[in-house]
């Protein structure tokens, strides 16, 4: 499928990539959700991922289970995840918000940490779910680093033994070219230092069996995300170098191997994942991927003048299309239609 450019009209006062990003990741007013059920999803080495399950009014649910995955230093409570969860629940999807290994919510049962290539944690977590939740299939969405993990998961269809059937996926602002994302983050005066500090604190908080004293010293001394990944993550997880780490775990390389309908939402002014991450991708080689580029949406923002933001509408329409069996092209058309500017009636209603 070709890369499609989507018209975007930002919701005041969220003008520009920086404000859109701050709204998506750090907005202090959490969107409301109905009470959920705490689950601990076991991993083979004894760790477990914390997750919250929400069930819609219909029992048993008539839609596939929607699994949502946060990004770097995030959690199930990131505003963009909660808003998408609410939108999917309104449409009858049961929703599972997953916290990655070593993140704040999963920390009590973690002895290691997530990284860009640890997609197998998602595979193991989904495989641990009962058939009563996954019998109608699963749809999976991830934001930022979580989006990269979702793409890697979808590309490893032959390695997902014991997993439920995945009907569709969505990745929002994933770092398709990791070195470009690390460079952008380190060069960003607003988010760079904050993300590094949060990441360092999160990693060091885990009583990790694979983080020796020399790696802890490297984590403390790192002055950039690039340096942290090069001196801590790469050697900790057995990569010979930072360059090998980014090359082996490059999400853009996963795109041609994906065979289930997958929505890729990118932003033209993303301050953390530059739009140049899309350069060089041959979309003819990625027939299952529907890529949408949205100018003005920031990193995981997409707050336009609709009652639900553009990413919620697009993901929900895409997942509904996949659940109804309309195929990749049909699901893509539904997502593009949902992402289109709201009608004048809606515009006047939210003015």
Compute CA distances 219 → 98, 132, 238, 239, whole Å.
26, 42, 16, 16
Q: Of 270, 277, 311, 332, which one is the catalytic site residue?
A: 270
- Report whether pLDDT(127) > 70: yes
Q: Of 144, 218, 252, 277, which one is the catalytic site residue?
A: 144
- Report whether pLDDT(337) > 60: yes
Tell me whether residue 144 is one of the annotated catalytic residues: yes
What are the DSSP calls for 159-178, one per residue?
G-TTPPPEEEEEEES--SSH
Q: Of 54, 113, 226, 299, which one is the catalytic site residue?
A: 299
- Pairing mode, if any, of strands 95-98 and 48-54? antiparallel
Tell me whether residue 37 is one of the annotated catalytic residues: no
List 51's β-bridge partners, or say none. Answer: 39, 98
- Segment 31-55, tens digit of pLDDT: 889 999 999 999 999 999 999 999 9
The DSSP 8-state label assigned to residue 111 in this structure reads: S
- Segment 224-280, tens digit of pLDDT: 999 999 999 999 999 999 999 999 999 999 999 999 999 999 999 999 999 999 999
Confidence of residue 350 (pLDDT cuts 50, 70, 90): very low
Q: What does the CA dihedral 119, 72, 254, 297 come to, rounded to 10 degrees?
A: 140
Q: Which fold has domain 4-176+254-338?
A: Rossmann fold (3.40.50)
Mean pLDDT of 149-155: 97
Domain boundaries, the chain: 4-176+254-338
Tell me whether residue 270 is one of the annotated catalytic residues: yes
Q: Tell how far CA 167 is from the center of its chain.
A: 17
């Amino acid at each position: 499928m070709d890369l499609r450019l989507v018209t975007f009209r930002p919701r005041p006062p969220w003008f520009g990539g920086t404000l859109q990003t701050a709204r998506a990741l750090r907005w202090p007013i959490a969107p409301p959700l109905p009470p959920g059920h705490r689950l601990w999803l076991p991993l083979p080495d004894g760790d477990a991922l914390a997750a919250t399950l929400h069930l819609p009014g219909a029992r048993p649910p008539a839609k596939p289970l929607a699994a949502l995955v946060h990004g770097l230093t995030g959690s199930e409570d990131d505003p963009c995840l909660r808003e998408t969860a609410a939108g999917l629940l309104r449409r009858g999807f049961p929703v599972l918000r997953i916290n990655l290994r070593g993140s704040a919510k999963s920390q009590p049962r973690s002895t290691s940490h997530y990284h860009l290539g640890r997609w197998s944690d998602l595979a193991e977590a989904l495989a641990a779910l009962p058939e009563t939740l996954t019998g109608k299939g699963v749809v999976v969405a991830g934001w930022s680093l979580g989006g990269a993990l979702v793409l890697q998961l979808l590309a490893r269809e032959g390695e997902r033994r014991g997993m439920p059937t995945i009907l569709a996926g969505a990745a929002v602002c994933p770092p398709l070219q990791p070195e470009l994302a690390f460079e952008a983050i380190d060069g960003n005066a607003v988010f760079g230092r904050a993300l590094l500090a949060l990441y360092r604190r999160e990693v060091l908080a885990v009583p990790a069996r694979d983080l020796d004293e020399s790696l802890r010293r490297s984590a403390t001394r790192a002055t950039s995300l690039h340096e942290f990944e090069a001196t801590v993550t790469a050697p900790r997880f057995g990569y010979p170098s930072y360059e090998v780490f980014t090359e082996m775990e490059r999400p853009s390389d996963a795109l041609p191997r994906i065979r289930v309908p997958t929505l890729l939402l990118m932003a033209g002014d993303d301050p953390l994942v530059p739009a140049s991450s899309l350069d060089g991708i041959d979309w003819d080689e990625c027939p299952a991927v529907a890529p949408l580029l949205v100018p003005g949406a920031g990193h995981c923002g997409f707050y336009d003048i609709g009652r639900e933001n553009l990413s919620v509408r697009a993901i929900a329409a895409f997942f509904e299309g996949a659940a109804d069996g309309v195929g990749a092209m049909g699901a893509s058309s539904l997502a593009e239609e949902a992402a289109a500017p709201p009608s004048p009636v809606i515009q006047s209603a939210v003015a």
